């Protein structure tokens, strides 16, 4: 029997590059977060840009595929990219150092329900995200 899709109205758990990398490596803390998300019927998402940052030659491709089968990978559309650019401008940030964080933040603002982002870079994301987005350092 196939499990029903998570209810986006309940909320969303987002993984940045480090969160995704830790999930692929089956880190105990991230695995706990993912177990709670499943139990609470939260969507678990990341962005297609996060994949670009997290995937490298040393990544276990089988573990990556397994992890991604349980994660919604949100595309970076023109609208989302412009929202990310607006967030960068509003935070007086720019350039490639902050681009992926801005896409993560814009995605967090675009998804339904309360959002928690698991990140290794909470300072930049706090500058880019609205106060209602919960930022958790991993």
1 confidence band (pLDDT: 50, 70, 90): very low
Residue 3 confidence (pLDDT) above 50 = no
pLDDT digits (tens, 9 = 90+) for 46-104: 999 999 999 999 999 999 999 999 999 999 999 999 999 999 999 999 878 899 999 99
Query: What pLDDT is stored for residue 4 in this prediction?
Result: 43
Residue 103 burial by Cβ neighbours in a 10 Å radius (0-12, 13-18, 19+)? buried
Tell me: pLDDT of 8 over 70. Answer: no
Q: Give the Cβ contact number of residue 81 at 10 Å.
A: 15
* Average pLDDT, integer, range 34-42: 93
- Averaged confidence pLDDT in the chain: 91
Q: Measure the CA–CA gap between 49 and 40, rounded to whole angstroms.
A: 26
Kind of pairing between the strands at 72-74 and 115-119: unpaired
> Could you give all domains of the chain from N- to C-terminal order, each with its CATH number?
12-137 (3.40.50.1010)
From CA 134, how far away is CA 82, in angstroms rounded?
22
């Amino acid at each position: 029997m196939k499990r029903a899709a998570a209810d986006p109205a309940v909320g969303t758990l987002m993984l940045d590059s480090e969160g995704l990398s830790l999930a692929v490596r089956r880190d105990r803390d991230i695995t706990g977060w993912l177990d709670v998300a499943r139990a609470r019927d939260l969507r678990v998402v990341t962005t297609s840009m996060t994949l670009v940052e997290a995937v490298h030659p040393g990544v276990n491709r089988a573990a990556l595929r397994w992890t991604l089968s349980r994660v919604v990978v949100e595309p970076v559309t023109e609208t989302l990219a412009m929202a990310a650019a607006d967030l960068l401008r509003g935070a007086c940030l720019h350039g490639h150092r902050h681009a992926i964080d801005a896409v993560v933040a814009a995605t967090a603002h675009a998804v339904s329900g309360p959002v928690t982002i698991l990140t290794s870079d909470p300072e930049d994301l706090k500058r880019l995200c609205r106060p209602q987005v919960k930022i958790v350092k991993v």
